Structure 1
Amino acid sequence: MPAPDAISPDKLAKLLGTPRCPTILDNRRDGLRAEDPLLLPGVRAIAEADLAPERLETLIASLSGPVVVACAEGHGRSQGLAALLRNRGISAEYLEGGYAAWRAAGLPLIDPAKITARDADGRTVWVTRSRPKVDRIACPWLIRRFIDPRAVFLYVAPAEVANVAALYCGMPFDVEDTFWSHRGELCTFDVMLAEFGLTMPALDRLARIVRGADTARPDLAPEAPGLLAASLGLSRMYSDDLEQLEAGMALYDAFYRWCRDATEETHNWPTNRPGGAA
């Protein structure tokens, strides 16, 4: 039975990709992380130097909401930091069994080597064309939910994407002739899943829907036309791209949960006639 201040890998995995997912801190020793660089999805890697007393306050001030701390095997490093955070008024648990238990359960890990730039606060910065429709909302959703919850997104004129990315140490995406873009029949969402090594049935199903909506191939998934319609509607409701992104986060949250939990559920009306009368 888990300790009252612990969370099991399976329970944490259920929270991944949802707005309720806690901030996950990886406080493994630097050497261990160098030997095994794969990360839990959405994790924030904490260097040993950041836990020194003179820098710990900066870390604590940057946290909001519940936290899960993960070390190599769920022993003193994660339990100690979680206890310290609770002492400072932050709801914090440690990952039971740590990375070893997570890996043993076959739960998803991501390859952070594909992230080539971060800002001074350790956030990834992504730059793309303004007036998003499908991929340029789907990819930020994927990044915020599975790669970097603190990620920064800059929407600019198409001709300025490369310049702005260079100016602010950002990574351009969903523009031609860049690493993070369409490849053959794959859309940028597909490419991100492949490059980060995110293999999950729900995300694979969602990727088909996104690809169908983004590349004018509604035959790929029955839900693709609905996603396209909702995306085009959002683009006309919002003139501010970041406001559209925030609204789009809820849209993709819903599609993801359907892909994960509700694909077999049907609905008809009325559903509550007594005796099943027609």
Structure 2
Amino acid sequence: MATPTSIPVDKLARLLGTPGCPVLLDVRTDEDFAADPRLIPGAMRRPWGDVAAWAGALFGRNAIVICRRGQKLSHGVAAWLRQEGVPAEVLEGGTNAWYAAGLPMVPADKLPARDALGRTVWVTRARPKIDRIACPWLIRRFVDPAAVFLFVPPSEVEAVAEGFGGAPFDIDSPEVFWSHRGERCSFDVMVEELTLGTEPLRRLAAIVRGADTARLDLAPEAAGLLAASLGLSRMYADDLAQLDAGMLLYDAFYRWCRDATDETHNWPTNKPKPGG
């Protein structure tokens, strides 16, 4: 049943992938999670019984709390967060309703282990251009908003990933899972393996693939993404600063893919209308 402190599935689905999406907290019991070990995109697992210990870290942010059916666990955690000063809502119907609506869920066993602060760690080559900005954008917006990205020399990617508990990506090595496969780039692989293949993300994947593999014929927008990406790589000497700037670029491309593909732009004219 809808309440003033709950949010319906369709409204949350519209928030996913946007910079303003609240923190998503999966507080299902271990038993419920073991029965379906998948996460709503961007959600973080948090133990409901320890909410008093971790609530303070969310101060200044909005939260949406998720359990299996949207009942006592999520309502209890959300109420606790609110009394700690964290605006919190409950997902109506929980993960059951999300799944019933046919919306994507991320398989938890595909994600790297989290560090002591609960973050996933990803390692790739320094001096990114396209795939190495697109993939972090996808991860931050649909997998782990707090994800850590380490940009290192190509020869050190796999060793750094092993030493720091991270997942290597976008590197030419048969041992690396998150990398090009045939004609598909690393972004394609992540969209597929993380079961995030919504229509907007598939459309964006074609643009990224075209720009990243010099197949500008795959999508008319690929040339624009390539030009913008190369421009950013010249503007920023620091890889993390370039990633921050690239997040806005991909936010814009994603919103176009989701909301604006049918929109055109016409230059206004003062030419009188016939008979007017």
Same fold per superposition (TM over 0.5):
yes
| 1:103 to 2:99 alignment | yes
> What's the CA shift for 1:57?
3.9
Q: Deviations over 1:152-177 (max 9, x none)?
A: 00001111111211111111100011
State yes or no: 1:147 paired with 2:143. yes
* 1:17 CA displacement: 0.2
User: What residue is the counterpart of 2:26 in the other structure?
Assistant: 26
SS class of match (1:25): strand
- 1:62 is paired with a residue of what secondary structure? helix
- Offset, 1:122: 1.6
Q: Where do 1:73-152 residues align within 5 Å?
A: 73-152=69-148
| Aligned-pair CA distance for 1:20 | 0.9
Change in Cα spacing, 1:23 to 1:276, as seen in structure 2 (3 Å) is farther
Amino acid at match of 2:7: I
Q: Residue type matched to 1:24 in 2? A: L
Choose which of 246, 249, 252 in structure 2 pairs with 1:251: 249
Encode CA deviations 1:46-80: one digit per residue, 9 max, x unaligned: 235xx23xxx3441122241100011111110011
Residue 59, structure 1, aligned to residue 54, structure 2: yes
Amino acid at match of 1:208: A
Answer yes or no: is the 8 Å Cα contact 2:70–2:91 preserved in 1.
yes
Q: Is 1:71–2:47 an aligned residue pair?
A: no
Cα separation, 2, equivalents of 1:14 and 1:126: 27
Are residue 193 (structure 1) and residue 191 (structure 2) matched?
Answer: yes
**How many angstroms apart in 1 are the aligned matches of 2:172 and 2:257?**
29
Q: Could you tell me which amino acid in structure 1 is paired with residue 133 of structure 2?
A: I
Q: What is the identity, as a one-letter code, of the residue corresponding to 1:75?
A: Q
Q: Which amino acid aligns with 2:39?
A: L
- Give the partner amino acid of 1:169: G
Change (3 A) 1:97 1:271: farther
Identity of aligned residues (%): 62
How many equivalent residue pairs? 272
Kept in 1, the 8 Å contact 2:24–2:43? The answer is: yes
Q: TM-score, normalised by structure 2?
A: 0.95
Change (3 A) 1:219 1:68: same
Question: Distance in 1 between the 2:32 and 2:215 partners?
Answer: 44
Residue deviations 1:180-234 (CA, integer Å, cap 9, x gap): 1000000000000111111200000000000000000000000000000000000
Distance in 2 (CA, whole Å) between partners of 1:17 and 1:246 is 15
3-state SS in 2 of match to 1:155: strand
Correspondence 1:171-210 to 2 at 5 A: 171-177=167-173, 178-210=176-208
Quick one: which amino acid aligns to residue 233 of structure 1? G
Aligned to 2:237: 239
**Distance in 2 (alpha carbons) for counterparts of 1:84 and 1:274:** 62
**Structure 1: runs of 5+ lacking an equivalent:** none
SS of alignment partner, residue 65 of structure 1:
coil
Contact kept? 2:28, 2:73, Cα under 8 Å: yes
Name 1:2's counterpart in structure 2.
2
Partner of 2:163: 167
Equivalent of residue 220 in structure 2, options 211, 219, 222: 222
Shift of residue 2, structure 1, vs aligned partner = 2.8
Structure 1 residue aligned with 2:11: 11
Q: Would you identify which runs of 4 or more consecutive aligned residues in structure 1 move more than 3 Å?
A: 271-277
> Tell me, which stretches of 5 or more residues in structure 2 are unaligned?
none
Distance in 1, Cα, partners of 2:242 & 2:52: 34
Question: Offset at 1:256?
Answer: 0.2
What SS is found at the alignment partner of 2:244? helix
